[in-house]
Amino acid sequence: MRILLQFPEGLKQEALRHAKELESEGNEVFISASPTYGACDLAIDEAKNICADKIIHFGHAEFNKVEFNVEYVEYSIDAPMNMLEKALPQLKDFGTIGIVVTIQQVHQLSEIKEFFEKNGKKVVIGKPYGFAKKPGQILGCDIGSAASIDRDVDAFVYFGGGIFHPLGAALATTKPFFAIDPFNSKIESMDSYREKHAKRSRGKVLAALKSRRFGILVSTKNGQHNMALGKVLKRKIEDAGLDAQILVSNTFDFESLNNMREFDAFVNTACPRIAIDDIDRTAAPLLSANELMEVIRMKGELKEVPGY
């Protein structure tokens, strides 16, 4: 069988070992060297170009159904649990806590739950919206496991590496949010990020108020492609008497976007995290769909004001 292997950045160091194993079983094996952001980003075009029979995608669970033969190899990491004990003083005022994890720690969720229950907490585990598949699991774009239980808990605990995932969940919830990073022995409150994000979002909207030409980003990645939304936003912009063009790419390169100087602002329909994490990478404001609607609403109100 001809197989294309695909690894997220953190697992690319293991690509050769897996390739050799599969070759020794009689397969013809290729490794995708492209950046891989998630299971939303399957290398289907590459696989088709080299006439592969199958993609083996490492490190992520299935994201959406695709018309290609894809095998997912999830990666679990046994994180040390000692940081849970250290988090207890910060959680002392909260009786009911919601726990969220990424796919790497889903297998440790029941152990984490048991730990907190033994220490007098009530634990609630939420359900994802659908891109993530397991209870308690979050993705950068599926924070349902947190948002769905926001009303039921006094605080949230994320257990896992980095702040990319807890940031998305914290922005979509209202309760105190703690990120326990067992790999770096850190416990961080995510609450200040909410205020910072709200300020930055407001800043983007204000910066885009004088924009007349909007570039709408539509990704061709399997799990990010949303041409329908792109077209709706284009119509909304045009209905407001402004110009819009849909910009298509697999992975948006910010240098290329910055070269497109005719556009006064960009609107993201691809990975929702682009309009949160990458806003400093474009010279023109990079808006989410909601922020665009706010710009249009405010522009309507400001029509009578000279200079707008």
Is residue 43 close enough to count as binding ligand SF4 by CB under 6 A? no
Q: Which residue's CB is nearer to ligand SF4, number 100 or number 271?
A: 271
- Rule CB under 6 A: choose which of 271, 279, 289, 295 binds ligand SF4: 271
Q: Which residue's CB is nearer to ligand SF4, number 109 or number 271?
A: 271
Rg (CA), the chain: 22
- Rule CB under 6 A: choose which of 3, 5, 40, 233 binds ligand SF4: 40
Residues 159, 163, 168, 172, Cα dihedral to 10°: 60
Residue 228, Cβ density class (10 Å: 0-12 exposed, 13-18 middle, ≥19 buried): exposed
- Rule CB under 6 A: choose which of 101, 106, 123, 139 binds ligand SF4: 139
**Straight-line distance from the first to the last Cα atom of the chain, in angstroms, rounded to the nearest whole number:** 61
Tell me how far apart the alpha carbons of residues 295 and 87 are, in angstroms, rounded to a whole number.
Answer: 41
- Given the rule CB under 6 A, which of 15-23, 36-44, 51-59, 180-188 is the region that contacts ligand SF4? 36-44
- Report the residue number whose CB is nearest to ligand SF4: 140
- Rule CB under 6 A: choose which of 7, 30, 37, 214 binds ligand SF4: 37
- The minimum distance between CB 110 and ligand SF4, in angstroms, equals 24
Q: 């992975």: which residue's tokens?
A: 251
Is residue 140 close enough to count as binding ligand SF4 by CB under 6 A? yes
Q: What contacts 172, CB < 8 A, 6 or more positions away?
A: 143, 146, 147, 150
- Given the rule CB under 6 A, which of 48-56, 136-144, 248-256, 287-295 is the region that contacts ligand SF4? 136-144
Tell me how far apart the alpha carbons of residues 278 and 276 are, in angstroms, rounded to a whole number.
Answer: 6
- The minimum distance between CB 142 and ligand SF4, in angstroms, equals 7
Tell me how far apart the alpha carbons of residues 127 and 174 are, in angstroms, rounded to a whole number.
Answer: 17
Say whether 235 sits in a helix, a strand or coil.
helix
| Contact set for ligand SF4, span 228-267 (CB under 6 A) | none
Binding residues (CB under 6 A) for ligand SF4: these are 37-38, 40, 139-141, 223-224, 271, 273
